[in-house]
Amino acid sequence: MFDRFASLGCFILSLCLRIPLWLYSEYIFPFLYVLPFFQKYKTENYVYSNKLAEEVVNAADIISICAAHGYLVHEHVVKTQDDYLLTIHRIVRRQSGGQNTEPKKGVVYFHHGLLTNSELFLLGETTEKCLPFLLVDLGYDVWLGNNRGNKYSRKHINLSSRDAKFWDFSLDEYAIFDIPDTLQYILDVTKASKLSYIGFSQGSSQAFAAFSVNPQLRDKIRLFVGLSPAMIPRSLSHPVAKFLVTSSSELLYFIFGTRAILPSVVFWQRFLGPINYMKVVDWSLVYLFNWKSEHISLTQKQIGYTHMFSPSSVKSVVHWFQIINSKRFQMFQEEISKLYSSVPSLNGKLHRCAPFPVQVIENLPMMLLYGDQDILIDMQKTKENLVGNLKDVTLVELPGYEHMDTLWSEDVVDSVFKPILHKLEEVHTPAHTPAHTPADTPSHVEELNGKNSRTEYQGDSYEFA
């Protein structure tokens, strides 16, 4: 009887959101066909800060974004062991300037965060504020990955993306299939024995999870760099966010469905136009997370927000809510007996969800860069979980930085990119060969290296003088 009342209550609550969603699909969505006219009306009189900003904001995909910066990109398709097809991107060379086409150094792989895609790392307001482009100019072989279900990876050998079963994935599948299969594909193509991994937010979490359950994968990593690395996020304080985090999985599926989350983001981008959309996103981030974004310029927000969001599965978001509630970096907790789940003491006796055993990660060089004002990560718990590997971890705490600042802050080159460039140079240069800047490196990269000739350690932080 209790289960019936609980289900009825969940259904009634879900109607509050399901009815507006139905109205949107039935009556608002048809206006999509006339949006280009509204779009032109809203933006034709807007003056962008520069030509690059205009081209990136209006770019349709990563190929257009790279072209705006003067780079080319090749697309590769990775087939996972469970038959998902993931599109990954390799930045191969500049279109002009006499750059060498063959990389001189090692392989560097980038992986995006939750609800984003590979474009995330290429959205700096200038070319110098896009770390992948700097690495390409230094001679590295740069790859960018994508999770199943996002803009670039909505394909399966047997399933349609309209099928709810296609979206039945979470961090478990990212760690067991997507990351290992993608990295192995890159190593096979490049004939390299190891690569360096740079992950932002959930991109770091997926690496932690993958390394913890796959010992062989750890041996293929030269250096792991985590930008705003999420492992066990702090509890969210906003009433709406807190309600969703503490809600049952059943209620969340009632509200959001069992397939993609944020499926209509492109519609709203086009409906509002880039300027109004940027303002709405900025307000939403302030409202939900109290992000002040004091270190991110208006132009950077306009460029970044336009391409930031990409669909993922509702289940992957539910998984994060489980991790926050349990305060434990664990695999997805499947539904168990409702009789036991209603009694916590009995539930604990019956079932304990398997962890991602990150404590077993050892002898893996890591560099973690994070802001002291980032409310989405708990570095104390992260350090406690990585205790077995702490001797190989370089921690860089950035005063005043919030979650997105490690990608887009106004001083990101000095505070974030320089330490990473120096560390990569260190691990990718043979011990008997002194570190150097390639002769054909562009002037903006030479300038970066010229200011980073020595390092200083202060406590557990890593600073450049």
DSSP 8-state class, residue 235: P
- Of 178, 374, 378, 405, the catalytic one is 374
97 Rama sector, left if φ>0, alpha if ψ -120 to 50, beta otherwise: left
Q: How far is CA 114 from the centre of its chain?
A: 5
Q: How many CA atoms lie within 13 A of 261 on its CB side?
A: 20
The 3-state secondary structure of 387-423 reads: HHHHHHEEEEEECCCCCCHHHHCCCHHHHHHHHHHHH
Catalytic residue among 153, 170, 201, 316: 201
The β-bridge relationship of strands 107-111 and 195-200 is parallel
| Alpha-carbon 24 to chain mean position | 28
H runs (alpha helix) in 98-168: 131-137
Classify residue 109 as exposed, middle or buried by CB count within 10 Å of its CB (0-12, 13-18, 19+): buried
Inter-residue contact 229 to 367 (CB < 8 Å): no
- Collapse the DSSP code of 32 into the 3-class scheme (helix H, G, I; strand E, B; otherwise coil) and give the result: helix
Q: Which residue in the list 69, 112, 319, 403 is annotated as catalytic?
A: 403
Distance CA 48, CA 141 (A): 32
SS3 category, 370: strand
Instruction: Name the amino acid, one letter, at 425.
Output: E
Burial of 212 (0-12, 13-18, 19+ CB in 10 A): buried
Mark whether 374 is an active-site residue.
yes
Tell me whether residue 76 is one of the annotated catalytic residues: no
Which residues have C-beta within 8 Å of that of residue 26, sequence separation ≥ 6? Answer: none
Tell me the sheet residues that pair with 109. 143, 197
Q: Is 293 a known active-site residue?
A: no
Active site residues: 201, 374, 403
